[in-house]
Amino acid sequence: MAYIDLPKDLPGIRGPMAFRPETAKPLNELAEILLHSEDNSLSRAEREMIGAYVSSLNDCFFCQHVHGAMAQHYFQCDTQFIDAIKQDYQSAAISDKLKSLLSIAGSVQKGGKYVTGQQIDNARRHGATDREIHDTVLIAAAFCMFNRYVDGLHTWAPQDRQVYIERAAMRAAEGYANSNPHK
């Protein structure tokens, strides 16, 4: 049960977004630009994976499975592949560039000051641009907000991961900007 009176049928962030549309609007716009906009040299799969990885570090069940399912949808991979990245991205079959960005995201999750110049240099060596580094840091920071919002209000989350996988194609098609929390 959530700590405040939210619509009972809405899981995760959809409850507080329905409760307070004034704040839901910029939150959805932020998610749209960071994760769904096509104006980005990072793929949607990579950006969703950064969100899922940070959410798993923050132990946020709802966010890590929503965004893990989104990454799975875009990567066209199986659940095991996503779980392998979350558990040990260094050994996963992903590009060195994405590994260098996940390393930065992992430091942001601990606190902004944990990001080192060496991590940034390493990302650049693997071809990351300023804009990609910026977006990686902001995606990681934004999920430190979304995760706290979802868990700080003690919202409920479906336990069956299939539920998240089934919604991913719809969310991929619609994006986040105008997402209706009631649907």
- Interface residue list for other proteins (CB under 8 A): 3-5, 16, 19-20, 22-23, 25-27, 29-30, 33-34, 37, 39, 58-60, 104, 107-108, 111-113, 115, 117, 120, 130-131, 133-135, 137-138, 140-142, 144-154
For 63, the token pair is 């966010």
Q: Which is nearer to other proteins, 73 or 97 (CB)?
A: 97
C-alpha neighbours within 13 Å on the C-beta side of residue 24: 18
For 64, the token pair is 């890590």
Rounded Cα distance between 98 and 73, Å, is: 17
Q: Which is nearer to other proteins, 105 or 168 (CB)?
A: 105
Minimum separation from the CB atom of position 86 to other proteins (A): 17
Minimum separation from the CB atom of position 80 to other proteins (A): 26
Residue 35's nearest CA partner among 110, 129, 120, 143 is 143
Q: Which is nearer to other proteins, 120 or 163 (CB)?
A: 120
Evaluated on CA atoms 115, 117, 118, 122, the torsion sign reads positive
